Amino acid sequence: MDPVLSTKSLIKRYGRIRALDGVDLAIEPGVVGLLGPNGAGKSTLISVLLGQTPITSGEGSVLGFDVGAEQPRIRSRVGYMPENDCLIPGLTGTGYVCYAGRLAGMSFVDAMQRTHEVLDYVQLDEARYRPAQQYSAGMKQRLKLAQALVHDPDLLLLDEPTNGMDPDGRRVMLSLIIDLGKAGISVLMCSHLLPDVEKVCDRVVIMGGGQVLTSGNISDMRRPHDTLYSVDYVGNTETFCHKLRQQGISIHAQSNGTLDVELSRANQQNLILSSAQLAGTKIRGLRPQRSSLEQKFMAAIRRQENGSSPEVRSK
Amino acid sequence: MSQDTHRYQRWPGRHRKPSTLSGLSAIVVTGIRLQYNRRFVRPLLLAGPIAVIGICVTLYLLSMLEVLAGSPEANGLYQFASGFLGVDLSAVSQIGELRGVIWRATFALVIRIQLFAVMVLVARIGPGLISDDTKVRALSIYFAHPVNPKSYLLGKWIVAATFIASVTVIPNLLALTIGSMITGGLPGVGPILTLALNIALAGLGVMLFSGLVMLALSSMTSDSRYVTVGWLAVCLMPAMAQGIIRENIPSENITGWLGSISLMGNAAVLTEHLFDLKSGWQASGLPHDAFAKALSSPIEPFYPAMVLGSITLIAGTLCYRRIVKFSQAAAAASNLN
């Protein structure tokens, strides 16, 4: 499957600061989450992909078009939903979305017809004729999604799409994104809300310091660990912990009747059982731990912080 | 309708090749509509029809004066015109021969008056043209579409220019057409076309200067109130400075750059030269000092042209550079301003 978006050794410098530091990406069609702390280079990457910011070196393509030379073609096939309100004063919801369609190159008739379709889709019914600046936060987010969809893009870039929304609005927005993915539109979603990303994305890319720290399928990231286990037990905690340490097993967390332990190697669960036997402890349960996206994210950021060179800094 | 029953439908229409013209026309049409709906803009646009009526009435009265020339009834009108212009018109034997000069002078005077209307109208419609977009960070919407900084800037300038034209060029050309129809016009097509061209050129100059200076100011801040204050300062402060200079320095010494401080004054000097009033006056046989008293300024057109041209060029460059910067920072919205 051809990637919708790819970069090779992409570097973007602002003076001495490297906002993007050799980004290598190949994102296949689907819904992909782009994660990273503030200043990780996510916004710069989007700016580069839209052809707004010239790259310092490297290559990049979006939907098969070169980011340096074919900006208008990229922009006409990509929908962008910015994080900020960016609602033009004086325009109604309909006027705003239709304007976005006209900017994308649609005729007025096509743009207006399509405007009503996408406003129906994002569930802005009668509100569409009200000035957009009077909308609630959730309605504004849905209006921004509508303007990104009006020209029926092949790729959607969503920057914090659930920002400022209440739980119900968030649920609606996430269901819209899932539906868009099913309709064949590729989505690159930037968000700080990891549960949202876990819910809607097939894959995730984690950035930090202008680099891609890790990427992969969310299902792979949430695969059960073969060295991390949770142990439910009954007996003397001190003795049990002592015996476990003697076997080279690390103890990460300890709560009432449960220990989170890490084996030095995989498939050595019998060491836990033998430690319990030696300590006179009864094992009630032994299960492998599943890592969350948050754990993966934090681990990637920690690795980057520990290993980064001083000159590699985000913007 | 619940989300569960409503699925996204792909658009069956054909995607057109992205063109600058489409985005440009969208910016212009939407920009004009938004500015037209602003408070006080429609009353200000009445300056256009008022100018048409005023010019047509003037031209009609002048034609009446020609018809009555030499008759006792015309004496009162001659005395009124002499008093108004401060020129003894008795030297003119046949006022009909001076129709071309009088029409040119009329339009030159009208354009001078229209500059004030332009100043007020631009102060109303111009400040938000770019600053509103930067304030709400709407530039990220523009530059995520096939719109480049040039077409964005051109679109915004056309919006400003359309409003300026609606109180200058359009009413003036309309008045020239109506005036020609009701009075018989100028002798031959050539003088009428020349006059129309001069009106268009003067209007284009006003549109370029006012539009670009306003856009430059509007691109510098996201608060349109500061832009309004800046615009009025640009228009009025040089005129005040020029007034102070005129009060303190003998007028024969106020030449060159020293006499080209007032932007309004510069526009008046250039209009006078564009409409070639000086040679027209000389051809009339009227005394030269009367011309200086009634219309002229002793400034050579080179200096006002340099001042206005330089300001326009600087404003255009500054504005373009700001828009390019905004376009590059549009996605990284936190970098704006």
The tens digit of pLDDT for each residue in A163-197 reads: 889 999 999 999 999 999 999 999 999 988 888 99
Output phi, psi for A99, to 5 deg: -60, -40
Q: Domain holding A255: CATH number?
A: 3.30.70.260
B328: nearest CB among A52, A72, A176: A52
Q: How many domains does chain A have?
A: 2
The tens digit of pLDDT for each residue in A102-117 reads: 999 999 999 999 999 9
The letter for the amino acid at B135 is K
Looking at the fold, whether A117 and A55 belong to one and the same domain comes out as: yes
Kindly state whether residue A304 falls inside one of the protein's structural domains: no
Domain that includes residue B314, residue range:
19-84+91-335
Q: What pLDDT is recorded for position A270?
A: 87
Min Cα–Cα distance to chain B from A99, Å:
7
Looking at the fold, whether A231 and A131 belong to one and the same domain comes out as: no
The letter for the amino acid at B248 is N
| Chain A residues closer than 8 Å to B140 by CB | 80, 82, 84, 86
Which segment of A216-230, A244-258, B146-160 scores lowest on mean pLDDT?
A216-230
Q: Give the predicted TM-score (pTM) of the model.
A: 0.84
Q: Please say which residue of A218, A250, A279 terminates a domain.
A: A218
Low-confidence ranges of chain B (pLDDT < 70): 1-5, 70, 74, 77, 81, 84-96, 284-298, 330-337
Residue of B nearest to A173 (CA): B3
Q: What pLDDT is recorded for position B290?
A: 63
Q: What pLDDT is recorded for position B314?
A: 97
| B residues 115-154 closer than 8 Å to A (CB) | 128, 132-133, 136-148
Looking at the fold, whether A201 and A136 belong to one and the same domain comes out as: yes
Q: What pLDDT is recorded for position B313?
A: 97
pLDDT at A310 over 50: no
Q: Please say which residue of A218, A240, A258 terminates a domain.
A: A218
As a whole number of angstroms, the distance between CA B336 and CA B135 comes to 9
Q: What pLDDT is recorded for position B172?
A: 96
Query: B17 and A117 in contact by Cβ < 8 A?
Result: no
Kindly state whether residue A315 falls inside one of the protein's structural domains: no
Q: Identify the residue among A86, A142, A152, A182 best suited for mutation to test binding to B, counting B beta carbons within 10 A and taking the highest.
A: A86
As a whole number of angstroms, the distance between CA A61 and CA A65 comes to 5
Looking at the fold, whether A193 and A229 belong to one and the same domain comes out as: no
Kindly state whether residue B13 falls inside one of the protein's structural domains: no
Q: Identify the residue among B145, B151, B156, B327 best suited for mutation to test binding to A, counting A beta carbons within 10 A and taking the highest.
A: B145
The tens digit of pLDDT for each residue in B197-235 reads: 999 999 999 999 999 999 999 999 999 999 999 999 999
Tell me whether 0.95 is exceeded by the ipTM. Answer: no
Kindly state whether residue A34 falls inside one of the protein's structural domains: yes
Looking at the fold, whether A171 and A273 belong to one and the same domain comes out as: no
Query: What angle separates helix B20-36 from helix B149-167, to the nearest 10 degrees?
Result: 40
Give yes or no for a contact between A144 and A82, defined as CB atoms under 8 angstroms apart. Answer: yes
Whether the CB of B25 is below 8 Å from some CB of chain A: the reply is yes
Mean pLDDT, residues A58-75 taken together: 90
DSSP structure class, residue A131: B
Query: B330 and A43 in contact by Cβ < 8 A?
Result: no
| Cβ partners under 8 Å of residue B267, min gap 6 | B112, B115, B205, B206, B209, B304, B308
Looking at the fold, whether A157 and A11 belong to one and the same domain comes out as: yes
| Chain A residues closer than 8 Å to B149 by CB | none
Looking at the fold, whether A167 and A276 belong to one and the same domain comes out as: no
As a whole number of angstroms, the distance between CA A114 and CA A97 comes to 9
Percent of chain A with pLDDT over 90: 48
Burial of B169 (0-12, 13-18, 19+ CB in 10 A): buried
Give yes or no for a contact between A213 and A300, defined as CB atoms under 8 angstroms apart. Answer: yes
Domain that includes residue A230, residue range:
224-290
Q: Domain holding A36: CATH number?
A: 3.40.50.300
Kindly state whether residue A308 falls inside one of the protein's structural domains: no
Taking one residue from A and the other from B, the number of pairs with CB-CB distance under 8 angstroms is 161
Kindly state whether residue A179 falls inside one of the protein's structural domains: yes
Kindly state whether residue B7 falls inside one of the protein's structural domains: no
| Chain A residues closer than 8 Å to B10 by CB | 152, 183-184
Query: B138 and A87 in contact by Cβ < 8 A?
Result: yes
Return the H-helix or E-strand segment holding B50: helix B47-68
Give yes or no for a contact between A165 and A193, defined as CB atoms under 8 angstroms apart. Answer: no
∠ Cα A182 A158 A315 (to 5°): 145
Looking at the fold, whether A108 and A212 belong to one and the same domain comes out as: yes
Q: Identify the residue among B15, B35, B37, B148 best suited for mutation to test binding to A, counting A beta carbons within 10 A and taking the highest.
A: B15
Q: How many domains does chain B have?
A: 1
Sheet holding A224-234, edge to edge: A250-255, A258-262, A224-234, A282-290
Q: What share of chain A is helix, strand, coil (3-state, %, to 5)?
A: 40, 30, 30
As a whole number of angstroms, the distance between CA B33 and CA B37 comes to 6
| Chain B residues closer than 8 Å to A93 by CB | none
